[in-house]
């Protein structure tokens, strides 16, 4: 196998963990067709019943939104709901032009996403309650590569080199590389889950000064996830994060972005959010404020945080010192939060709770989930335990030896 074939095989066997006679649904740009064929081949080799590809095109999507208030059709929702009920798994290949929707009304993009999510609850439930696997992975395209490497003579090749490197695809066995990567998360996840943390305090020189309470029964996870049937899969390739959910009403202070946010083909730069009792009460951005407004206006839950994620500043992705303009990659270079929905698995018993029960336990609910990066080289995160003890989890953007050597006995 060449490296791209190894990457496709990794996505199928470890990312999605495709099973015999399973339907695989792939969403990708038309520019990714050659790689999509490699993925399809790998799917059929492990016994997939069928591979259904739904291609998109940046230029056509832009025209669609420019010529009217684009809203989803019933057949779009029906497709996802029906395939989900048949046990399908879902792959999203990302890498579109980060500037594809520049100048397009962000409200029309937000309205479409919100409407489609509301029409696809059976599909969303399969993913949210860990009954169907899903994976997001990146595939270089020309426009994206030129954005990342504007001075390169061969930006696509350079971006492929970076994507394969951060995805741990090399001359060794890629699947074994990821098995080892999975094991590397376990110790820190175990410490976080047994510390009995009441709150964490974020501070850095950008101006971040934020206290985040964790809900009773919080659960940190990292690497991949177990499906309800016991199968293990990796939702993100690459991944470097350990994540959980904040208490919806327990966030107070100010939070500054460390990297630009690429969202629906638009860019938001140098923004900050101020929270009181969990809710965003003020915000601003040097560029793309209207995009940030559209995110916050999605619904009531979009004004609250749904995810807290720890990523050391010295991670393999941050070590490249490159802004990728793709949230999948950039979020794994930096500690981050997400506005909107929390993950059901991030609280004890969450996979058996209704939305109302999740809310009662402090878990935010929303039609959206938008990650944004806050990690810096001077970020500190101090945890306050329920017994009053304090421990620095992060100093200078990295896990502390105090945390890594913490005794749980």
pLDDT tens, residue by residue, 27-44: 999 999 999 999 999 999
Give the C-alpha separation, 344 to 351, whole Å: 6
Tell whether 106 is covered by a domain: yes
Residues 218 and 194 sit within 8 Å (Cβ to Cβ):
no
pLDDT of 59-92, one tens digit each? 998 888 888 767 777 888 999 999 999 999 999 9
Closest CA to 145 of 95, 181, 188, 111: 95
Please indicate, yes or no, whether residues 53 and 135 belong to a single structural domain of this protein.
yes
Per the listing, tokens 């209704």 go with 354
Please indicate, yes or no, whether residues 274 and 233 belong to a single structural domain of this protein.
yes
Please indicate, yes or no, whether residues 193 and 139 belong to a single structural domain of this protein.
no
Strands 336-340 and 369-373: antiparallel
Residues 309 and 331 sit within 8 Å (Cβ to Cβ):
yes
Please indicate, yes or no, whether residues 269 and 386 belong to a single structural domain of this protein.
yes
Number of domains in the chain: 2
Q: In 10 A of CB 282, how many CB atoms?
A: 10
Please indicate, yes or no, whether residues 147 and 69 belong to a single structural domain of this protein.
yes
Please indicate, yes or no, whether residues 223 and 348 belong to a single structural domain of this protein.
yes
Residue range(s) defining the domain that contains residue 392? 184-404
Q: What is the mean pLDDT of residues 265-290?
A: 96
Q: pLDDT class for 285, splitting at 50, 70, 90? A: very high
Domain boundary among 121, 147, 175: 175
Q: pLDDT class for 226, splitting at 50, 70, 90? A: very high
Burial of residue 316, with CB atoms counted within 10 A of its CB: 0-12 exposed, 13-18 middle, 19 or more buried: middle
pLDDT of 291-327, one tens digit each? 999 999 999 999 999 999 999 988 889 989 999 999 9
pLDDT of residue 56: 94
Please indicate, yes or no, whether residues 118 and 202 belong to a single structural domain of this protein.
no
Residues 236 and 332 sit within 8 Å (Cβ to Cβ):
yes
Q: Using the predicted structure, report yes or no on whether residue 348 has a pLDDT greater than 80.
A: yes
Tokens for 365, please give them: 């609910």
Domain boundary among 144, 175, 206: 175
pLDDT of residue 268: 95
């Amino acid at each position: 196998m060449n490296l791209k074939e190894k990457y496709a095989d990794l996505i199928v066997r470890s990312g999605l963990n495709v099973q015999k006679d399973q339907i695989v649904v792939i969403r990708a740009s038309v520019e990714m067709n050659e790689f999509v064929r490699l993925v399809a081949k790998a799917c059929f080799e492990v016994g997939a019943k069928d591979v259904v590809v739904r291609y998109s095109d940046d230029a056509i999507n832009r025209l669609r939104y420019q010529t009217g208030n684009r809203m989803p059709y019933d057949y779009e929702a029906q497709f996802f709901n029906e395939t989900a009920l048949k046990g399908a798994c879902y792959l999203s290949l990302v890498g579109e032009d980060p500037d594809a929707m520049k100048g397009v009304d962000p409200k029309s993009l937000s309205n479409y996403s919100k409407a489609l999510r509301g029409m696809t609850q059976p599909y969303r439930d399969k993913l949210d309650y860990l009954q169907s696997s899903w994976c997001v992975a990146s595939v270089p395209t020309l426009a994206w590569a030129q954005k990342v490497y504007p001075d390169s003579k061969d930006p696509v090749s350079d971006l492929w080199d970076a994507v394969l490197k951060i995805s741990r695809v090399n001359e060794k066995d890629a699947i074994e590389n990821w098995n080892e990567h999975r094991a590397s998360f376990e110790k820190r996840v175990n410490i976080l889950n047994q510390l009995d943390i009441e709150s964490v305090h974020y501070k850095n020189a950008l101006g971040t000064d934020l206290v985040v309470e964790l809900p009773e029964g919080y659960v940190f996870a990292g690497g991949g996830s177990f499906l309800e049937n016991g199968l293990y899969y990796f939702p993100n390739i690459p991944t470097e994060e350990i994540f959980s959910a904040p208490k919806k009403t327990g966030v107070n202070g100010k939070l500054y972005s460390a990297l630009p946010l690429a969202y629906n083909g638009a860019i938001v730069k140098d923004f900050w959010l101020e929270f009181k009792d969990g809710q965003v009460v003020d915000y601003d951005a040097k560029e793309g404020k209207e995009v940030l407004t559209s995110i916050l206006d999605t619904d009531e839950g979009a004004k609250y945080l749904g995810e807290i994620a720890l990523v050391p500043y010295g991670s393999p992705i941050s070590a490249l010192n490159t802004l990728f303009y793709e949230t999948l990659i950039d979020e794994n270079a930096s500690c981050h939060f997400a506005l909107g929905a929390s993950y059901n698995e991030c609280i004890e018993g969450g996979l058996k709770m209704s939305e109302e029960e999740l809310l009662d336990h402090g878990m935010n609910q929303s039609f959206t989930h938008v990650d944004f990066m806050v990690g810096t080289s001077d970020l500190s995160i101090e945890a306050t335990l329920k017994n009053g003890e304090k421990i620095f989890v992060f100093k200078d953007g990295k896990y502390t030896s105090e945390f890594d050597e913490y005794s749980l006995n």
